[in-house]
Structure 1
Amino acid sequence: MRLYIIEDEVVAAERMQELVRQTSPDAEIIGLADSIEDSVQYLQNNPMPDLILMDIELVDGQSFEIFKEVEVSCPVIFTTAYDEFALQAFKVHSIDYLLKPIQREELQKSIDKFRQLQKVYGGGNRPDYSELVQELRRSTAPVNNTWREHFLVKQGQRLLSISIDEIAYFYSEDRVTFLKTHDNRFFPLDYTLEEVEQQVDPRQFFRASRQFIVDRQAIGNIYIHFNGKYKLTLKPATSEEIFVSRDRGAEFKKWLGA
């Protein structure tokens, strides 16, 4: 079993490695990262591991951002000191969610669960987890497809209800989330982009980058960029360039109907 660890606390990373050695002597720890940036770089340029142990709160943000930059095609066990991220964790292909401090018995149960899944969906020395990943996504999909139809925003002393059909895109700037309407109005929101992404219909909106979630009707032009990326122009125009990463390119084309 080839295992990759993503953890930004030195003591926690050392403990996790020791727990892995105790619970799975046959496991090969192929790498250790402490940030979103390092994780993405490794996963983009190396064979996918069999399993990832992933802390949620990293030095440069929440590890959910990794899934926006690279197609993670193996199961993940999330670790965190907080239980508030459980639902979001299971909306990606997590097989378990462990609260810190991690106990040996809990990690053992998670590893055993992975090995059972490996027997069902894997085969040979390097299992293909694509079927497992798809099953995890299906099993953690929302029970009802009810998406936000309005967002309540402030304008001075007034509260306005903005219809979802009025929104061109959501974006993050200086740690604040904004929505911009098709008629070029913008308002701050009391949600993170990750929270917005879970509330809007994915058939209508696409997470184009870490900073932008875009409505289909807001896309002006699409340019093929170098290294397999796509460059977007939006309506209304933005002050910065927007790129869909190479790893999300196929998903983006499928969303467009290509």
Structure 2
Amino acid sequence: MNVLIVEDEELAARRLTKMLAEIDPQVRVVHTVPSVETAVAYLQTQPELDLIFMDIELADGQSFEIFEQTPVTTLVVFTTSYDEYAIKAFKVNSIDYLLKPIKQPELAASLQKHHQLNRKPEAAPVQVVAIDALVNQLRQQTQLPEYRRRFLVRHLTQWLPIEVSEIAYFQADEGVTLFRTLTGQKYNIDYKLDELEAMLDPALFFRANRQFLTNINSIQQIHSYFNHKLKLTLQPAPSGEVLVSRERATEFKKWMGK
């Protein structure tokens, strides 16, 4: 069995090669490539391959790009560090995935799956057709969400672009939503906090309560408060107290500690 490994981590590639040899001495790793570019170049030489082990995240992009640049009709086993539960639905037909660090019993099961398919060649066309659908699903699953990077706000007779990273917090105040920048400027914005929360990177902004959505860089101090609440000191100082409810206090502490 001729195998290609597409893996940008040299240690992981060596480990996989060793495990394959231990499981089945007839497996021959004919080549190892570390990137989308080198994988495409190698596959375009039309090598005789029986199976490809393909890491999802490569040095120069995601392995899905390989399928866009050259036909891949060889059976593929994806390897990935993504959470098992996030991608378990993609274990369809004869295509398999292995969660890193790869375990020998799971690798052996993948090889057995390949052997079974070879005994049923009529199933191969189904496998090849399924690759496109699988790649699209995996791409959607692993793509990082795109968060809002700036807002265009009106100030007097001008429209000003304000980078999200410059915003200290958003505040809902008597039916109006406004925000303050880290340098103290105040602007109104035509979004509700619920809408803004969905637009913004949760690593940067936290919904403290119904009135405040705050940037982690604006938080100067955190104080214990009555009834297990937390009181935040923000810079620049807003009008009114900023409290994190008892129910959200634990989540807030985890968010601050990331």
Q: TM-score, normalised by structure 1?
A: 0.48
Q: Greater relative contact order: 1 or 2 (C-alpha under 8 angstroms, separation 6 or more)?
A: 1
Structure index of larger Rg: 2
